[in-house]
Structure 1
Amino acid sequence: MTTKEETLALWRQQEEDVRAKLAPPGVATMADLKAGSGMDFLQKIWDGLLPSVPIGQTMDFIPVEGEPGRIVFQGTPDKRHYNPLGSVHGGYFCTLLDSAVGCAVHSVLPQGMGYTTLELKVNLVRALTEKTGPVRAEGRVIQVGKQVGIAEGRIIDTEGRLYAHATTTCLVFPLP
């Protein structure tokens, strides 16, 4: 069984390893997006061959694990993310989860297909604060068809405590 300290050390090392490979933030071209499958596109971002995602820099989170149908983002909330009540704003939860569940759908799309979020349902279970430490949002595909993709996600800490869970419905379409 892994201790909290061992998990924290592993998470921090994974984050450091990924950050070392990421390119500066930017927006990939449509040609880049259409050049391979959804997983190919995501892998090129993670390998630093395409720009990293600007919202990840803004919210200070990055992808740390990924395979077709499952994507994990990690972030460490701090006071920059607070609402006026003294805890992390719900938008942080939503953005982190939208990234995880949306990219999970994207990861199973074939070449030439794209997606956009149609609906995101998020349930906040407990507050995040600067004392929480790193958290992970794991998105997992439930079903992806020709026009609709559905995924679910969870935010957990190093002890496996649940902070939020979400479901998404995405529109799947041919890229122009």
Structure 2
Amino acid sequence: MHERDFFMDMERKRTIVWDDPQINKRDAVSSLSGLDYLRAIRDGKISPPPVAKLIGYQIKEVDHGFAAFELHPGEHHYNPFATVHGGILSTLLDTTMTSAVLTTLPQNITCSTVEIKVNFIKPVSAESKLVRCEARIIHIGRKLATVEGRIKGGNDELYAHGVSTCLIFKVG
């Protein structure tokens, strides 16, 4: 048997396990600032959202007006062209940019994406190793915020960047 045939016969599968997204979330959102909420997820005190488990990204840094997430790209993220699907990269950007806005909000106030614009600069693949998405606030108003994000790899190589507008509103 050729090596290629051996690998072609291997079953590829991925099992995703997550916690009930409602446990701790309602109380945490109303009792913590956005920054403290994200820190609690980063520190393992609150479970990450199911989408984080599904895609595999993790919070690495959060500070007022700043968020950084990381992702190890793999085959399970691929589109038909054997590169990471743009929707995965867009989700990483959206999550990181929304989190940067959330870091500025007090308890009982949250945000949601209204609009996102993404530019894909070069393809990402499993060979890209670890990618890091960083987002910084451009402007925070009473109802809307704008934020920018960048996905980079090793040697500060730019893979994608985006801009988002988020709606700011009271919880409940």
TM-score normalised by the shorter chain: which range applies? Answer: 0.7 to 0.9
Distance in 1 of aligned mates of 2:98 and 2:64: 12
Partner of 2:128, secondary structure, is: coil
* 2:108 partner amino acid: G
Displacement of 1:30 in angstroms is 2.0
Shift of residue 53 of structure 1? 2.0
- The answer to whether residue 120 in structure 2 is matched with residue 124 in structure 1 is yes
Provide structure 1 residue ranges, at least 5 long, that are not aligned to the other structure. 1-23
Cα distance in structure 2, aligned partners of 1:68 and 1:50: 19
Partner SS state of residue 128, structure 1: coil
Unpaired stretches in structure 2, ≥5 consecutive residues:
1-17
Q: Aligned-residue CA RMSD in angstroms?
A: 1.1
Change in Cα spacing, 1:25 to 1:134, as seen in structure 2 (3 Å) is: farther
In the other structure, the counterpart of 2:72 is 76
* Corresponding residue of 1:112: 108
In the other structure, the counterpart of 1:8 is: none
Q: Say which of 161, 166, 170 aligns to 1:170.
A: 166
* Corresponding residue for residue 141 of structure 1: 137
What is the Cα deviation at residue 26 of structure 1? 4.0
Shift of 1:25: 4.1
- The answer on whether the counterparts of 2:134 and 2:151 sit within 8 Å (CA) in structure 1 is yes
The 5 A counterparts of 1:46-57 are 46-57=42-53
Percent of residue pairs identical: 34
Contact 1:26–1:52 at 8 Å: present in 2 too? Answer: no
1:40 maps to 2:26: no
Shift of 1:130: 1.0
> What CA deviation, in whole Å up to 9, does each residue of 1:39-95 have, x standing for no partner?
011111112211122111111110111111110000011110111112110011101
**Whole-Å Cα distance in 2 between the matches of residues 88 and 72 of structure 1?**
19
Amino acid at match of 1:50: I
Q: Provide the rounded CA distance (Å) in 2 between the counterparts of 1:113 and 1:147.
A: 11
Contact 2:42 2:58 in 1 (8 A): no
Q: Distance in 2 between matches of 1:138 and 1:25?
A: 26
TM-score (norm 2): 0.85
Larger radius of gyration: 2
- Give the corresponding residue for 1:103: 99
How many residues end up aligned between the 2 structures? Answer: 153
Structure 1 length-normalised TM: 0.83
- Structure 2 CA distance for aligned equivalents of residues 65 and 96 of structure 1: 14
